Structure 1
Amino acid sequence: MNPIKAPSTGSPKKFNVFAHVKYEHMVAGVSGGVASTLILHPLDLIKIRFAATVPQYRGLSSAFTTIFRQEGFRGLYKGVTPNVWGSGSSWGLYFMFYNTIKTFIQGGNTTMPLGPAMHMLAAAESGALTLLLTNPIWVVKTRLCLQCDAASSAEYRGMIHALGQIYKEEGVRGLYRGFVPGMLGVSHGAIQFMTYEEMKNAYNEYRKLPIDTKLATTEYLAFAAVSKLIAAAATYPYQVVRARLQDHHHRYNGTWDCIKQTWRYERMRGFYKGLVPYLVHVTPNICMVMLIWEKLTS
């Protein structure tokens, strides 16, 4: 007589949080962020000084010549170390989070279109997680970029010294200055990535190809530039507010106080200070970052 076998229930499936993580997206993001930062840092520095209003320059060319004359070539690269760390880690984390969340929503099927709302949700969640981990680096970068004269140049001797001094004098709160407008700025990345992904998808659908079909270099560059310009036009004011909150030359009683003072003394024009050097900086920056990401993860 054969023994009766109990029905096989199988082992219960365990949720694996790392199931959709692909670390090549982090490597691609770090590579793109570091490369673009090393090439374009002087424009980023000028954008920050325009936004924070310290010191005053007559224009982009005036800012270049003034900084070079007063501070030398090294002056154009003040704050480059935390900028490299911040940009590399931010893009690396962002692309890793974004691809993981996006693939999770798709259920692993990369040919399934998500639509604008889901693209924006994935990008917003990625931006929030990235900012939470990298905000202290951006505070240090902003303050080093704003050391404009001999008196202030000794205040922070470098990235590690600045991190230590800010924590010692202002605590954790000091390292997270500008975090609130930074969180509002998550909408910038969300708009940008939603626009970029939707343009790619629409283009491939127009060609009657799967949406994950790889594009030509010029097509990636064009979609990256257009998506960045749209996002910048919609969300630039938060960057001005964030830079001013992180600037230690001025004191504001929070984000709302900064917004009120900027409006009171400068009106709408104040919220768009530094827009020209910003666009000159971010357009080639995002093109380079997105192209490296697409090529390294193809």
Structure 2
Amino acid sequence: MSQEHSAPPPRYLGFVAGMFSGVAKNLVGHPFDTIKVRLQTSDGRFKGPMDCVLKTWRNEGLRGFYKGCTPPLVGWVIMDSVMLGSLHTYRRFLKENFFKSDAKLPLSGHCIAGLMSGLTVSMVAAPVEQVKARLQIQYDGKTKQYTGPVNCVSQLIKQSGIRGIYKGLCSTMIFRTNFVFWWGSYEIFTQWFKTNTSLSNPAINFWSGGLSASVFWIFAYPADVVKQVIMTDDVKNPKFKRWIHAVKWVYETRGLKGFVRGFGPSILRSFPANAAALAAFEAVMRTLH
């Protein structure tokens, strides 16, 4: 994405490459994500990340770590296609219309494009992430409310209509405003590696993707906790009517520590999953252009 070409790549190419990014991210990152969501949404069930890992393995086996995998496998292919495709499009739009005098898009342009892509992909991400989260917190047969992603979507629509599957849209958009930090730092890391190392382009993409994702999660994590709490709230009798109510609930019931619960698995996941995703994206962009 940071490479300069004699002719810019076609706009559709970012959407195509984003599909490959979504597959790579899901395969590498989903087990970490399951542990993160379970720690964020449960009260007293787990003592910590390792206890969650051991109990999940003991009670559910390997399949437990991939619960709710289908929605993001399909969804992240779509989400990364929309996110990275729109990011590529917004960067090109800003470069052609607002930064014409610059040889390349400045850092501020990358930050603005990141913000816009985050808000855009929220429309796809909200329903996908809600279904994923609801399936991930089904710990055993006794508490199993949904038989699968289709059944989950069906029940949500039956209970609350289309609004049901878009529960948490506002919190998703708030969470994804932190894309400013992701794509701004991605550009900073990319340029630093190009200037100060002799790494190949794929290696630069890998390290920049992993490091920038870690920066993103450091800033965005509290908003992610609030988002998950809202998305797994009871549909018929919701506890939270507004985003701020969920923020107050987390603080009052868990204290400040509640906003970083599950951070360990999240930060461990962020580097390998997003490094693989960004490397896949850039590789496809280079290959097809």
TM tier relative to shorter chain = 0.7 to 0.9
Which whole-Å CA distance do the structure 1 matches of 2:114 and 2:275 have between them?
Answer: 17
Specify the alignment match of 2:42 in structure 1: 53
Q: How does 1:1-298 map to 2 (within 5 A)?
A: 22-53=11-42, 56-107=45-96, 112-153=103-144, 155-204=145-194, 206=195, 215-248=200-233, 251-298=239-286
Aligned residue identity for 2:131: V
Q: Shift of residue 24 of structure 1? A: 2.5
Counterpart contact for 1:86–1:134, Cα < 8 Å = yes
Measured after TM superposition, the shift of residue 248 of structure 1 is: 3.5
**1:21 Cα offset (Å):** 5.1
CA contact (8 A) 2:193 2:204 kept: no
Letter in 2 for 1:265: T
| Cα displacement (A) at 1:227 | 1.5
* CA contact 1:20–1:104 (8 Å) conserved in 2: no
Q: Normalising by structure 1, what TM-score?
A: 0.84
Root mean square deviation of aligned Cα = 2.3
Cα offsets for 1:201-224 (capped at 9, x unmatched): 3554x47xxxxxx94333222222
What residue identity is the alignment partner of 2:115? A
Worse-superposed segment, 261-270 or 235-244:
261-270
1:54–1:146 Cα contact (<8 Å) kept: no
Which structure 2 residue ranges, 5 or more long, are not aligned?
1-7
Q: Which amino acid aligns with 1:238?
A: A
Deviates more, 1:131-140 or 1:93-102: 131-140
1:274 positional shift = 0.5
Give, in whole Å, the separation in 2 of the partners of 1:180 and 1:274: 22
Q: Secondary structure at the match of 1:148?
A: coil
Deviations 1:109-161 (A, max 9, x none): 8x8332232211111111111111332111111101111132222x2111111
CA 1:199–1:74: 2 relative to 1, 3 Å: closer
Tell me how many residue pairs correspond in the alignment: 272
Identity %: 24
One-letter amino acid of the structure 1 residue matched with residue 185 of structure 2: T
Query: Could you give the per-residue CA deviations for residues 175-231 of structure 1, whole angstroms, max 9, x where no partner exists?
Result: 112211211112222210111113323554x47xxxxxx943332222222212222
Shift of 1:83: 1.5
The separation in 2 between residues aligned to 1:199 and 1:41, in whole angstroms, is 25
Return the offset for 1:60. Answer: 2.4
284-293 or 215-224, which deviates more: 215-224
Structure-2 residue corresponding to 1:13: none
**248-257 or 286-295, which deviates more:** 248-257
Deviation at 1:173, TM superposition (A): 2.2
Once the two structures are superposed, residues 16-58 of structure 1 have per-residue CA deviations (whole angstroms, 9 ceiling, x without a partner) of: xxx9853232222111211221233111111001111256222
Give the residue type in structure 2 aligned to 1:254: R
Higher Cα radius of gyration: 1
Q: Distance in 1 between matches of 2:34 and 2:131?
A: 13
Contact 1:143-1:248 within 8 A present in 2 as well: no
* Alpha-carbon spacing, 1:272–1:146, altered in 2? closer, same or farther (3 Å): same
Higher helix share: 2
What TM-score do you get using the length of structure 2 for normalisation? 0.86
**CA, structure 1 residues 46+120, in 2 after alignment: closer, same or farther (shift >3 Å)?**
same
Query: Would you say the 8 A contact 1:21–1:99 is kept in 2?
Result: no
Residue 107 of structure 1: SS of its match in structure 2? helix
CA contact (8 A) 1:116 1:194 kept: yes
Cα distance in 2, alignment partners of residues 39 and 114 from structure 1 = 31
